Amino acid sequence: MSSQTLDKFLHEGLEDLKSQGLYNVIDPLESANGPTIQIQGRQLINLSSNNYLGLATDERLIHACVEATKFAGVGAGAVRTINGTLAVHVELEKKLAEFKHTEAAIAFQSGFNCNMGAISAVMDANDAILSDELNHASIIDGCRLSRAKIIRYKHSDMDDLRKQAKEARDSGKYQKLMVITDGVFSMDGDVAKLPEIIAIADEYDLITYVDDAHGSGVMGGGAGTVAHFGLSDKVDFQIGTLSKAIGVVGGYVAGRQELIDWLKVRARPFLFSTSLTPGSAAACITALDILMSSTELHDKLWANANYFKKGLKDLGFDIGHSESPITPCIIGEEVLTQEFSKRLYDNGVYAKSIVFPTVPRGTGRVRNMPTAAHTKEMLDSALSIYEKVGKELAIL
């Protein structure tokens, strides 16, 4: 028999979300997550994937994945520290260090896992973490898990960061202090002010932690936001995910050898959760080889993103202040935002609405992710559908 308190909790919670228009319906894809997708038998232009470079369906990655799977099987069979470290994991970590210009790297099963493991491996209840208020959920959860005091600073507000860093340092209450920021913020596409953050970190002896999930493969010719600012030897933790531009799955920390050695004995997802599948690790290695040998996909991504951004702006939409390919189209009110996205869908464009609580109330947006795999024709058709829906809903 089920628990009555659980039944009541679930029923009321779901009804509440639905009545506010905040209940998220998940549409399964009947195709790969490429520039177009199929849902319920319909072909749609896909502007919602993080597959920035189109690598998720790249033949070279598929081949590497299949070969590694044939050689080593579909699963790694154990956690990394028992006997789940295969040669392919070691090769991947070497390649990641090369990609990020660091001494070493450690791979995790996802970017989320990486933040859960890496922060709590170093920070504890005697410490404090200065965290940008718009940091990703996995950073917030990783900070909470560490039990360090969390001090949120206003989004990219360097005066606030400096003030709070000074207060924390002067209070004498904390042993270690860390500053954590996304490299590229996933909802607005703006880039962290890393040179200023590093200067403040130098002043107050802060450990620096940059999660570049949306910047790797995208910023700095592909090497990421830290490389974009020429700060590769100044950031302690360079975090990335293998699930977005790299096109596969997984996460990593790149940094100094001793830091990586420490994470390998202290980061709990590394110690207690089975390692990446051999096929995924091999596909990631191939993706990194592609990224390090040519900027072709990166350049295509930026050309497409700039084209699409200009198109939306010329139509009269508010596209915020993105400095990356992430292109928000800010609509405002939650129900209107969801209606906008639904009408895009009805007309053949898949672009998800993002509303409170993911973004602040009243700043609902449809988030667009143009990729290297889109053709100009696809982007043109998406723009004309945007125009039609914008007029229908009197936004234009």
Q: What residues act catalytically?
A: 186, 214, 244
Of 241 and 322, nearer to ligand PMP (C-beta) is 241
Q: Is 293 exposed, middle or buried (0-12, 13-18, 19+ CB in 10 A)?
A: exposed
When asked if residue 131 is in the footprint of ligand PMP (CB under 6 A), the reply is no
**Residue 48 binds to ligand PMP (criterion: CB under 6 A):** no
The minimum distance between CB 50 and ligand PMP, in angstroms, equals 7
The least CB distance from residue 240 to ligand PMP, in Å, is: 9
Within its chain, how far is the Cα of 257 from the centroid?
25
Going by the DSSP 8-state scheme, the letter that residue 184 receives in this structure is: B
- The residue from 214, 228, 367, 374 that contacts ligand PMP (CB under 6 A) is 214
Piece of 120-128, 169-177, 208-216, 323-331 that binds ligand PMP (CB under 6 A): 208-216
Long-range contacts of 378-383 (CB under 8 A, 24+ apart): 378/35, 378/36, 378/45, 379/304, 379/307, 379/308, 379/311, 380/311, 381/45, 381/348, 381/349, 382/45, 382/47, 382/308, 382/349, 382/351, 383/308, 383/311, 383/312, 383/315
Query: At 191, is the secondary structure helix, strand, or coil?
Result: strand
d(Cα 122, Cα 104) in Å, to the nearest integer? 17
Please report how close the Cβ of residue 112 comes to ligand PMP at its closest, in angstroms: 4
- Considering only 46, 48, 110, 327, the residue that binds ligand PMP (CB under 6 A) is 110
Residue whose CB is less far from ligand PMP, 117 or 311: 117
- Binding residue for ligand PMP (CB under 6 A) from 241, 322, 368, 371? 241
Contact 349, 385 (CB under 8 A): yes
Site string for ligand PMP, 146-185 (x = CB under 6 A): ------------------------------------x---
Nearest distance, CB of residue 129 and ligand PMP, angstroms? 15
Q: Closest residue (Cβ) to ligand PMP? A: 111
- Please identify which residue in 251, 278, 279, 325 interacts with ligand PMP, judged by CB under 6 A: 251
Of 187, 191, 207, 213, the one binding ligand PMP by CB under 6 A? 213
CA 268/CA 121 separation, integer angstroms: 8
Under the binding rule (CB under 6 A), the answer on residue 243 touching ligand PMP is yes
- Asked if 211 touches ligand PMP (CB under 6 A), the answer is yes
Is 215 an interacting residue with respect to ligand PMP (CB under 6 A)?
no
Asked if 277 touches ligand PMP (CB under 6 A), the answer is no
Window of 92-100, 165-173, 210-218, 335-343 that interacts with ligand PMP by CB under 6 A: 210-218
Q: Identify whether the C-beta of residue 85 lies closer than 8 Å to the C-beta of residue 100.
A: no
> Is residue 301 within 8 Å of 52, Cβ to Cβ?
yes
List 85, 186, 353, 371, residue binding ligand PMP (CB under 6 A): 186
Task: Determine which residue in the list 102, 138, 225, 275 makes contact with ligand PMP, applying CB under 6 A.
Answer: 138
Q: What is the DSSP letter of 98?
A: H
Structure tokens at 233: 């030897």
**Tokens representing residue 362 in the block:** 């009243």
Check binding of 93 to ligand PMP (CB under 6 A): no
Per-position DSSP letters for 107-176, written without gaps between them: EES-HHHHHHHHHHHH--TT-EEEEETT--HHHHHHHHHHTPEEEEE-TT-HHHHHHHHHHHHHHT--S-
Candidates 164, 20, 217, 186; CA nearest to 112 is 186
Q: What CA dihedral angle connects 105, 110, 111 and 115, to 10 degrees? A: -80
280 binds ligand PMP (CB under 6 A): no
**Min separation Cβ 215 and ligand PMP, Å:** 9
> Would you say 255 or 390 has its CB closer to ligand PMP?
255
Q: Decide if residue 188 touches ligand PMP (CB under 6 A).
A: no
Size of the site for ligand PMP (CB under 6 A): 14
| 340 neighbors 389 (Cβ within 8 angstroms) | yes
Q: Is 62 exposed, middle or buried (0-12, 13-18, 19+ CB in 10 A)?
A: middle
User: What secondary structure letter does DSSP report for 248?
Assistant: S
Per-residue binding letters, 340-369, with ligand PMP (x by CB under 6 A): ------------------------------
Return the number of the residue (111 or 222) whose C-beta is nearest ligand PMP.
111
Q: List residues binding ligand PMP (CB under 6 A).
A: 110-112, 115, 136, 138, 182, 186, 211, 213-214, 241, 243, 251
